[in-house]
Structure 1
């Protein structure tokens, strides 16, 4: 006997069984205080615990990963303790939550790093600006990592994974997307090294695969995911052969038996370049044998289509989850969604941190 799958069908994700296939996507919100997660963050994530899976915002694995003011970390005891209150709150509400491990690489600035230059595979500046204590600044040329420094960063990811276990997470996701350090090593527009970590695709993928191996040694592959964005052009990212590069990586991930890969579709600015792979999901799905989460401006109907056809196993939602803490319930009942306010996506200073964060209304309980 068979039945149709949809967003509300339970699903096995690695060693977890999820109540539905609706994932809360990782989203930068910048509400940490001195890089330490707070009670307010615990409230925010607990409000959204009806998601089949929550993936947290990008979380620093070292001080040199400090790319944004008020982003959280996972490299100190204080940060780990802060995350413990988040995971406890989510679990108390019946949810499951993965921590996204992140290193910003060249997407940082010396004014955020106590005067040190950002680090990257090559001394090539990213394109764009950052908000810093000194105001909005252009991204600066990073320092190219020495080859003997790279294993230390792999160890930082491993330590972050260990700290995530201590903090009570259900697993971790590696941020291998959107022009941050793992992605910088992978794509030849940002990696022009001539050693074992540059040149051929296998060399450029080496850092990513070493990090996957290190983190999987802590959690087991079945509790590790990775986010990839083959068509992202943000921060000036590009590759001379994106299809070959990402096919290689995705096929190389198969033996790890990961919980999932999280594939990002191109957004409007990516598409406007006219040079990106579109769609990502159908292009790369044939090369991966495991579970796939797709993300790319989905609504309920489009998300259900991807589940029903079997192209994706789960669908992640970003802005809709910001504005609708009870998004699965709203999808089930086909009721109107709260519109997101983009002006409050990121914290503005240290005041009114709850505005546009924990103050979106849930559906009122219906009288019995």
Structure 2
């Protein structure tokens, strides 16, 4: 079998990526129940997962998907707009609207597609978007694709955002775009202050609750519920691929907003709809989230324990944050990869995060807790981390 010749510039860029310690390899991963996984044939405790409520392996969720398969088949065959919106899609939209306490909901094939499509449809060259520095790549890409004027701010320095809002004039829309929980830091957006600024300067708040849906709020609706600002946020975006344990993105809101999105967002109009079996699974997962709040309680208890223990170690930096995402800042990408390998050898899979996912000089281990992790898992992880720190950091 012959292959086309690879352009020289690709080889050159690959050499540069390897030299910078940023090369990413593909590997085969097999998820298991109870917070475990198989990686290259070895069983590990999985601290790299966003399955915060351990629902992707829940027997009830699996059974719901399995029951829909014989009737509906595997694929959806078309976009939702053409002929791909089945009764399972409609049922999930209704379930999401009930869960979020809104009029209606609309589905997207992924959270990335939701963010990219919604922002690029919402804004144009006459508008100004105010984007948090730590926003997910899908939000940033949506902002860029829109063609709007882009202003970057830091959620821990809202004085700059206020100054930018003050000096923005004209008839264009002003849109504040933010994650509720920042995926690589675990820090929370100051939603009350952001809503205050939006109301003061006639701006719109667009919120991605990807890492908050199912995790925050008395009912699990997210950080906007936790902080009491749901009615002050114009567009609330969520994902089904993290705490809900399935896949896809969604927006829940007033009828007029959902109708507008249905008619305007290209990533929804021109994408094949989610498989019906996934919709059936997500319906069951949402039911479990509402009926079993102890999953959230346990998740936060385990996260608080591990974060407190890590912050007592002077040789590493663990920024203040809340919830199941705990970053261990190591700065150097090579050191980050060494320590991730050490931890894997000790039986733990931890995300090794390097630029361009995070800014230069902030390479880190991203520890992600789920409610499946036992306290003994966390204690064993701390011992393995201490051994790696002694070998790689404290001996320097």
**Same fold flag (TM > 0.5):** no
* Structure with greater Cα Rg: 2
Q: TM-score, normalised by structure 1?
A: 0.28
TM-score by length of structure 2 reads 0.27
Q: Which has the higher contact order (CA 8 A, sep 6+)?
A: 2
> Greater share of helix residues, 1 or 2?
2
